[in-house]
Structures are given as structure tokens and as C-alpha cells.
Amino acid sequence: MKNDPTSRPVDAGGAAPAKHFIRQIIEEDLRANTHGGRVVTRFPPEPNGYLHIGHAKAVCLNFGMAREYGGECHLRMDDTNPTKEEVEYIESIREDVRWLGFDWGKHFYYASDYFDKMYECAAQLIRKGKAYVCGLTAEEWSKDYRGAPPAPGRASPSRNRPPEESLALFEEMRAGKHPDGSLCVRAKIDMASPNLHLRDPVLYRILHATHPNTGDRWCIYPTYDFAHPLEDAFEGITHSLCTLEFEVHRPLYDWVIENLDGLPSRPRQYEFARLNLNYTVMSKRRLLELVQEGRVRGWDDPRMPTICGLRRRGYTPESIRAFTEVIGLTKYESLSDVARLEHGLRDDLNKRAARRLAVLNPLRVIIENADALPASVNAVNNPEDESAGTRPVPFSSELFIERDDFMENPPPKYFRLSPGGSVRLRYAGFLTCTRVEKDAIVCKWSPPEAGLKVKGTIHWVSAKHAVPAEIRLYDRLFTVEDPLAQAAAEGKDYHEFLNPDSLVTVAGFVEAGLADVRPAERFQFERLGYFCADPDSTPGKLVFNRTVTLKDPWAKAAGKR
């Protein structure tokens, strides 16, 4: 088993993945034949927002375990609360899961598919005397009955209502004869339990709301605690993986399964720590705030940690999958470093992205010996991939180079251009600066054969041929690692930590060959970083997003000075 290559996930960089506790549980179950040798998982989002990288961890875990152990993974919309869910999110969730590289096959479900069966299950519990219809309001319940541990709670006056009477009321609830909140179905468990979830939790509540899927067919809806174990049991889920906050719900999950007859399977719930990433926020509520307040341009703003944001930014699904594997899986909360995500992305793009020349902040260069110039030079498309070949790049006597690549008074160890100095022009010989004018520098060009001894190589584009492009430079959304925690600790509003420079738009130039890029095409602009064409980009007006910079020791050292 240990050396079985088929049991390894695709993106673990060749190394065997860590046998985290979920893998151990699954392998133990397989050995013991706990679920008849089956592995069935599910990803159960509530369709009330867009998926973010935290969800990607759950998606990759659930689909990944199924793939790895020859099982299946269901995609299930957990739509048990019509007051919060909307159809518009459903397709975006499906798209994001697909983009991440997973396939649910025919196993796409809605919790609402099971409303009839769930109703029957509640009726069964009532008939058995294990549930009852309670007439207390939510407020009365929490104020006077539920109690606060260590003190026990008080029994609802309806707790011993005869099953026939509860059943009749339940039927009336369903028929719409009672207003929202007037009645609910409660499990009869233990009003003295130190676990609040076992003090007669609500199983069904009245909600006169139109459901995106079932319309007005129902006005009563099951709660998460009742619905989730049932959905899992109906679908034959073997390992129901959820986040840590559901740990205390597990006894109730088990209670529901154990007290119902006729369930087709016996699922088990296991909990893992959700993903936290530094320099961003992850909750749906905060993300929604950023969108609504106009701090970002939308859910798919490339600065957002949403899947659609990362996609637009230029992230590859492979790098996201690799990230979710490499951060591991534990039962304690931690804060992962985005540097890890970025590392995986560079690693991936370095091998795949075609190299191009682009200048973000142009400085005009006039070549004084224009007579001997080639019309074009041959550039390597990808030094990591010989099969990518080469391309011609037009050359001329007027170039743009990066403003950062020239200094009149350079500090020590500056390897670039300065008056009297020389540099290599990437793929195109050498430049020696002879004088500085107001809006340009004048240089002498030497061919590659000149073999000048230089320390640096700089990128360039031909001013006559280059195409103007809008280039959007992104940086982290927040200036501190954990904006919410720090705001709470310092009594501040987390908005104070918003990075004002998270988006800087510049007017640059890209080499002529890029004039007809299609949105989402990814490139490395040499010496600058990885970029991708934005959906806003058209042949007449190019727009690129900087996905991530290249590592830049010089810039870092400069930042320290």
C-alpha cells in the first residue's frame, strides 16, 4: 500500500503525500472493510456565495480522497434554507469545481431532492416518541428552557405531547396552517447534556419562503443538523468530512443516524481544520463586504481569494491543487503563508509559460549607430522547454527599456545601465550608454559577437513595433497577516489594514507578437513576472494582469536599504 503509485495524488510534486489522519482513517476502514470497501465522499456547499480557496481545500480533499482510493465524490448543494440561497451561485460553484479539475459524474444532488424522505424520517421519530412538536418561540427557548451549562435546561411544556398530537401538528405545519416560528419539531434527547446540541435540538422549522429548487411546495424545512446526516446516509456517503466547528455536532449527527430505522447506510463524520491564508480575509461575509463596499471590482477581482478571482489573476488549477496537498491536514487551526501558494504557482508557470518581452515603465533609448542594426532578433520561448521553440522579435534604433534598469548615479552592485556603462540586451547584443538627454538616453549598440564583459542583462521592446498595453499590478489585499485578528486586538476596524496599493495600473508596452492574445493566456514577461491577459483585453486595447512577480533579490535588498 505504501509504495502503490496509484494511491498518490497527482500534484504532490512526485513525492508520496503525507499520510494525514483522514488517509489513515480511510485506509483503516478499507482494511477492516467497514463500508464494504467503498469510499464515498461529498462536497456540500450551501449555494449562498462564491467558492474561495478555503473551499478549494475541501474540494480537493473530498474529490482527492475519492480519486485516490477508487471511490466517488458527490457534489451536493446544501439548500435547506431558502431565505439564504440563490440559484445564481449554483452554476458558479459547478464551474469552479470543474475548473479545479474534478468531475462528479452523475453524482450532482440537492439536499432538497430528499425533502419527502426527510419529512418521513421526522414523522418516524415523532411516532417513536423521539421527537415532538414544540410551541415555544425561539426567544422563550433560549431564555427560559435551554439553560446554560453547567446548569441543566428545563423541559419544554410540549415535551410529553402524545405522538399522535405531534404528528397532527407536524402535518398542519406542512400544510401551512401555522406562521413562521410558531411551532417547530424538536428531537427529544437530553435537557441536562453538557453539549447544547443535545438539548432537544430543532429538526424542522416553519419558513414561508419560495425555495429556488422546490418553489412553494414546502413551507417547513429541515435544519442542517437533521438534514446533513440524512443526506449522507441516503447517498451512501462513507466519510463525511467537514470543518472543526462541527465537531460538537457529531453526537447529534450520530443520534439521528442511530435512532432512525431503514436508513440505507451508516456514514461517519470527521472534522479537519479550515484553511486560513495570511494577508487576506476568507469569510463569505467579509468577502461580500469588500465587493459591496467597492473595495474590489467584484467577486472575481484578481485580488480576491475566491476561485474565480484566482482564475482571473492567472493561477493554474494545478498550483492550487498542489497547494492544498502541501499545506497538510490537521485538527488545529493555523495560518498558511501565501508565499507557499505563490511558490507553487511560480514552479508550475516556470515550466509552462511562454516568455515574452514587455516594459512596464518605459525609458526611451536612442541607438546612435543605427546603420548596423538587425531588423529582428531570435528569442527563446521557454528555456525550460526546448520544444517551445523560438520566435523573431522586431528590433530597431529606438527602444524602450525599464526605467529601473537605468540609473545616472548607481549604487554599488548595480548591474544595469548607467552613463558610460554597458549591459546585455536580452537576445540582442549589448548597449553602452554614451549620454543622457532630457527624455531619452543615447546608446551605442554592439552585436552579440562583441562579447562585452557585462554583469547584467535587461529586457526591452522596439519602440516602433511594441504594442501599448494596460498592465494591472496586484499586491496583497491587506498590509498585515491577519487583518481581522489584529483589528480585534488593537481595537481597530480591519479596513484600516486594506493595502492602498493592492492595485496599480500602468501603461506599458509589450512585444508586437502579443497583439492578438486571447484572454486567460499566460506568459512570463522576462525579468518581471508571470502575467495573463484579462477578460477586459481586446485586440485594440490589451489588458494584462500580473499574476505573480519573479523572485527579485535586488528589489528585496533595495527595500531593506
Nearer to RNA, 129 or 328 (CB): 328
Residue of 284, 286, 340, 476 marked active site: 284
Question: Considering the complex, what minimum distance in angstroms separates the CB of residue 150 from RNA?
Answer: 4
- Ranges within 217-256 binding RNA (CB under 7 A): 221, 223-225, 227, 244-249
CB atoms within 10 A of CB 458: 23
- Ranges within 19-48 binding RNA (CB under 7 A): 19-21, 24, 44, 46
Contact 547, 522 (CB under 8 A): yes
Nearer to RNA, 180 or 493 (CB): 180
Q: Are strands 503-510 and 467-474 parallel, antiparallel or unpaired?
A: antiparallel
Give catalytic status of residue 284 as yes or no.
yes
Question: Considering the complex, what minimum distance in angstroms separates the CB of residue 142 from RNA?
Answer: 4
Residue 415 interacts with RNA (CB under 7 A): yes or no: yes
Stretch near RNA under the rule CB under 7 A, chosen from 64-72, 132-140, 471-479, 493-501: 132-140
Residue of 8, 27, 46, 159 marked active site: 46
Q: Are strands 184-187 and 430-436 parallel, antiparallel or unpaired?
A: unpaired
Exactly one of 35, 55, 416, 472 binds RNA (CB under 7 A); that residue is: 416
Question: Considering the complex, what minimum distance in angstroms separates the CB of residue 450 from RNA?
Answer: 10
- Ranges within 52-91 binding RNA (CB under 7 A): 78, 80-81, 84
Give catalytic status of residue 333 as yes or no.
no
Residue 458 interacts with RNA (CB under 7 A): yes or no: yes
Q: Which of 363, 515, 513, 372 is nearest to 438 (CA)?
A: 363
Exactly one of 129, 176, 179, 181 binds RNA (CB under 7 A); that residue is: 181
CA distances to 142, 154, 190, 314 from 186, rounded to whole Å, are 14, 14, 11, 49
Q: Is residue 117 classed as helix, strand or coil in its secondary structure?
A: helix
* Residue bearing cell 521592446: 461
Residue of 8, 117, 159, 274 marked active site: 274
Question: Considering the complex, what minimum distance in angstroms separates the CB of residue 438 from RNA?
Answer: 25
Nearer to RNA, 301 or 402 (CB): 402
Nearer to RNA, 148 or 375 (CB): 148
Q: Are strands 440-446 and 430-436 parallel, antiparallel or unpaired?
A: antiparallel
Q: Where are the alpha helices (DSSP H) in 336-389?
A: 338-352
Nearer to RNA, 162 or 328 (CB): 328
Contact 141, 186 (CB under 8 A): no
Contact 513, 358 (CB under 8 A): no
Q: Where are the alpha helices (DSSP H) in 235-331?
A: 250-258, 284-292, 307-313, 317-326
Stretch near RNA under the rule CB under 7 A, chosen from 121-129, 343-351, 435-443, 508-516: 343-351
Backbone dihedral angles phi then psi of residue 155, each to the nearest 5 degrees: -65, 140
- Ranges within 137-176 binding RNA (CB under 7 A): 137-138, 141-142, 146, 148-150
What are 296's three cell numbers? 474590489
Angle between helices 53-68 and 21-32 (to 10 degrees): 30
- Ranges within 503-542 binding RNA (CB under 7 A): 524, 526-527
- Ranges within 303-342 binding RNA (CB under 7 A): 326-337, 339-340
Nearer to RNA, 25 or 512 (CB): 25
Q: Which of 424, 403, 399, 397 is nearest to 360 (CA)?
A: 403
- Ranges within 347-406 binding RNA (CB under 7 A): 347, 350, 355, 382-384
Question: Considering the complex, what minimum distance in angstroms separates the CB of residue 347 from RNA?
Answer: 6
Question: Considering the complex, what minimum distance in angstroms separates the CB of residue 460 from RNA?
Answer: 11
Exactly one of 100, 184, 308, 463 binds RNA (CB under 7 A); that residue is: 184
Radius of gyration over every alpha carbon of the chain, rounded to an integer in angstroms: 30
Give catalytic status of residue 560 as yes or no.
no
- The span from the CA of 350 to the CA of 348, in Å, is 6
Nearer to RNA, 248 or 541 (CB): 248
Residue 118 interacts with RNA (CB under 7 A): yes or no: no
Question: Considering the complex, what minimum distance in angstroms separates the CB of residue 538 from RNA?
Answer: 27
* Residue bearing cell 554583469: 455
Question: Considering the complex, what minimum distance in angstroms separates the CB of residue 229 from RNA?
Answer: 12
Q: Which of 184, 187, 200, 203 is nearest to 152 (CA)?
A: 200
Residue 16 interacts with RNA (CB under 7 A): yes or no: no
What are 81's three cell numbers? 434554507
Residue 426 interacts with RNA (CB under 7 A): yes or no: yes
Nearer to RNA, 198 or 543 (CB): 198
Q: Is residue 384 classed as helix, strand or coil in its secondary structure?
A: coil
The H or E element spanning position 390 is: strand 390-394
CB atoms within 10 A of CB 330: 12
- The span from the CA of 244 to the CA of 269, in Å, is 11
Stretch near RNA under the rule CB under 7 A, chosen from 3-11, 97-105, 451-459, 508-516: 451-459
Contact 282, 275 (CB under 8 A): yes
CA distances to 221, 281, 292 from 495, rounded to whole Å, are 37, 11, 13
Exactly one of 273, 373, 440, 484 binds RNA (CB under 7 A); that residue is: 273
Q: Known catalytic residues?
A: 46, 274, 284
